[in-house]
C-alpha cells in the first residue's frame, strides 16, 4: 500500500438538510426527502462509488473521516456519495470526486471520464441505496487533494492485498466496498 495524504479544506462531511430523491424498487423517483429522514426511515435512495485504478493495477481507497455519520474510519472506494435530488448518477460521481479528492474527472478522462460498471440493489446492509459503480478512465497522473472533512487518508492497494484484507478484516471496510469488490471480482 502506498499512502497519499494531501489534505485540502472543504465542505463538512455531510449535512442533514441535503435533499435526496426517494425511489421505488425499480429506481424510479417517487418523492423527495431530507437526508436525515431518508436514513431514519430506511427509504430507498441513490448513491455512487468511483473506482480509480493506476497503470500498475492498483486501486485507490480512502479511509473515511471519523466525522462521517456512516462507517466512520472505514476504508471505502476512491470516492462515494449520495445522489442529490434531480441529479444524475454521473453528475453525482463528478461532484463527489471533486469534493472528496479535488480531482476534475473531465481533465483526467476527457468528455466521458467514467465507465459504468454496474448498479447494486438496495438492501438494509447498504442503507437502502441503489449503488451505481463507476470506474475512472485514466492512467493519471493523479494529484489528490483530499478533503479532511471527508477523508482521513488515502492509499493505493494491490488487488491481492485488498482481497486479502477484506477476507481477514472485513469490518475495516464499508459494507458497500465489500459488496462491490465481490461483484467486481466474481
For residue 5, pLDDT beyond 50:
no
Specify the pLDDT at position 186.
Answer: 82
Domains annotated for the chain, with CATH where assigned, are: 2-184 (3.90.79.10)
Q: Which residues contact 163 (CB under 8 A, 6 or more apart)?
A: 181, 185
pLDDT tens-place string over residues 66-111: 999 889 999 999 999 999 999 999 999 999 999 999 998 887 766 7
pLDDT digits (tens, 9 = 90+) for 113-156: 899 999 999 999 999 999 999 998 777 778 899 999 999 999 99
Residue 59 has pLDDT above 90, yes or no: yes
Nearest residue to 125 (alpha-carbon basis) of 167, 66, 178: 178
Q: What's the pLDDT score for residue 16?
A: 60
Percentage of the residues of the chain whose pLDDT score is greater than 70: 90
Amino acid at each position: 500500500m502506498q499512502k497519499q495524504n494531501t489534505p485540502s479544506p472543504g465542505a463538512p462531511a455531510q449535512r442533514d438538510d441535503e435533499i435526496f430523491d426517494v425511489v421505488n424498487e425499480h429506481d424510479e423517483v417517487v418523492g423527495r426527502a431530507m437526508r436525515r429522514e431518508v436514513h431514519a426511515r430506511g427509504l430507498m435512495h441513490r448513491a455512487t462509488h468511483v473506482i480509480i485504478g493506476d497503470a500498475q493495477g492498483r486501486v485507490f481507497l480512502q479511509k473515511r473521516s471519523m466525522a462521517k455519520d456512516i462507517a466512520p474510519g472505514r476504508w471505502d472506494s476512491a470516492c462515494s456519495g449520495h445522489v442529490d435530488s434531480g441529479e444524475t448518477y454521473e453528475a453525482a460521481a463528478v461532484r463527489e470526486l471533486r469534493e472528496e479528492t479535488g480531482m476534475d474527472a473531465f481533465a483526467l478522462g476527457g468528455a466521458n471520464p467514467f465507465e459504468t460498471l454496474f448498479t447494486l440493489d438496495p438492501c438494509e446492509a447498504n442503507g437502502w441505496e441503489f449503488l451505481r459503480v463507476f470506474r475512472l478512465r485514466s492512467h493519471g497522473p493523479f494529484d489528490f487533494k483530499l478533503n479532511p472533512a471527508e477523508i482521513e487518508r488515502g492509499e493505493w492497494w494491490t488487488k491481492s492485498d485488498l482481497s486479502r484484507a477484506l477476507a481477514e478484516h472485513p469490518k475495516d471496510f464499508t459494507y458497500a466496498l465489500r459488496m462491490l469488490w465481490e461483484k467486481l471480482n466474481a
